[in-house]
Amino acid sequence: MKLRKASLSVLGLAAALVAAACGGTTGNNPANQSGTLTVWLMNGSAPQSVVDGVNSDFKAKYPNVTVNVEIQQWGEIGTKLDTAFAGGSPPDVIELGNTLVAKYAAAGALEDISGKKSSFDNSGT
């Protein structure tokens, strides 16, 4: 259950980013949002049943948004993310370890979402 609560925080984050990440959105009504979100999660961070449950909850609120979850490996994530940023195609949402956050924040590669904090569900923190 604790993993589900933590993963629901990811759902809240993804929901907050939908308007910015999805092209072709109309209005603030979640049912009108459309597009595709690419989410990179790390191998072993959550059981598939939790990921599926979060996706199901998200899809219920945002029926016209497609979420592509791609499982990544810790040992390769830095190189893969560098390549994605260099190619202009980074994921919309990524799970990063604390050893990588500083690097990408200093490079200006991460979006400052502190202004959206009040809209997050903090039940998993």
Q: Which domains does the chain have, with CATH numbers?
A: 2-114 (3.40.190.10)
Spatial separation of the C-alpha atoms in residues 67 and 58, rounded to whole Å: 9
Question: What is the predicted pLDDT for the residue at 49?
Answer: 93
Helix (H, G, I), strand (E, B) or coil at 22: coil
One pLDDT digit (tens) per residue for the chain, 125 residues:
344 444 444 444 554 444 444 444 455 788 889 999 999 999 998 899 999 999 999 999 999 999 999 999 999 999 999 999 999 999 999 999 888 999 999 999 988 888 887 777 765 55
Question: What is the predicted pLDDT for the residue at 14?
Answer: 52
Q: What is the pTM of this model?
A: 0.72
Question: What is the predicted pLDDT for the residue at 20?
Answer: 43
Q: Region of 88 please: left (phi>0), alpha (psi -120 to 50) or beta.
A: left
64, 33 contact by CB (below 8 A)? yes
